[in-house]
Amino acid sequence: MKIDLTWPSEADERLRAEVHEVLHAVVAVGGAIGWQSPPGRDQTDQWLDRLLARTRVGDAALVLALVDGVVRGTASWQRPAGEVFVHRAELGRVTAHPSARGLGLGSLLVSAVVENARAAGLEILTLGVRGNNHGAIELYEQLGFREWGRLPNAIAVGDVRFDDVQMALPLGFRDGVVLHGSAAGGLGASPRRGVGDRRRHGA
């Protein structure tokens, strides 16, 4: 069995069909990748086209795991909108076809995305994961991601609610970057409001 990784920027009919098969199959067995029911080909093509368009301008990347020449796993990173966020990206759609479970594709794909994002000059990689997806959370933790926030019962699947777990992995900062954090002062700063101010304004 041979496993290869590829980073497409264009998609032909075969690639579209194979990516669709993976995404459809993952959701069909309960995978939490953004669709409540298995997506149609039009939905997966639309996602793929948008992602590859962003890839061609440097705002995203898609990696595919090929098992014996057939797409059996996916993962990607995308920058969020806004100039102040260009230094970070979100990891998304990490999948492995049910027939390829147990081959270590998840770890292989996420590790590849991390290195690609670092090489692209990104400083932080984030992700969101459903709170009950314990196996995925453990995988991300093994690869260095750490939980930074959790919004209870914020993901709706029908009448069931799940926690939205947010995780992040620092990739390193270039020389000259000032880590201001939450210190007072700087652009966009405002002073703390005193007790008297709060009373006057009815806060």
CATH number at residue 117: 3.40.630.30
* 112 within a domain of the structure (yes/no): yes
Describe the strand order of the beta sheet including 146-157 as a list of residue ranges: 3-6, 60-67, 70-78, 88-96, 124-130, 160-170, 146-157
Confidence of residue 157 (pLDDT cuts 50, 70, 90): confident
pLDDT 10s digits, 49-94: 999 999 999 999 999 999 999 999 999 999 998 888 889 999 999 9
What pLDDT score was predicted for residue 64?
98
What pLDDT score was predicted for residue 161?
96
Pairing of strands 60-67, 3-6: antiparallel
CA distance 168 to 141: 10
Residue % of the chain over a pLDDT of 90:
78
Does residue 144 carry a pLDDT above 70? yes
* 196 within a domain of the structure (yes/no): no
Mean pLDDT across 119-135: 95
Does residue 137 carry a pLDDT above 70? yes
CA distance 67 to 5: 9
* 136 within a domain of the structure (yes/no): yes
Number of domains in the chain: 1
* 113 within a domain of the structure (yes/no): yes
* 200 within a domain of the structure (yes/no): no
* 129 within a domain of the structure (yes/no): yes
pLDDT 10s digits, 6-44: 999 999 999 999 999 999 999 999 988 989 899 999 999
What pLDDT score was predicted for residue 202?
61
What is the span of the domain harbouring residue 59? 3-183
- Mean pLDDT for the chain? 93
* 169 within a domain of the structure (yes/no): yes
* 44 within a domain of the structure (yes/no): yes
pLDDT 10s digits, 179-188: 888 888 888 8
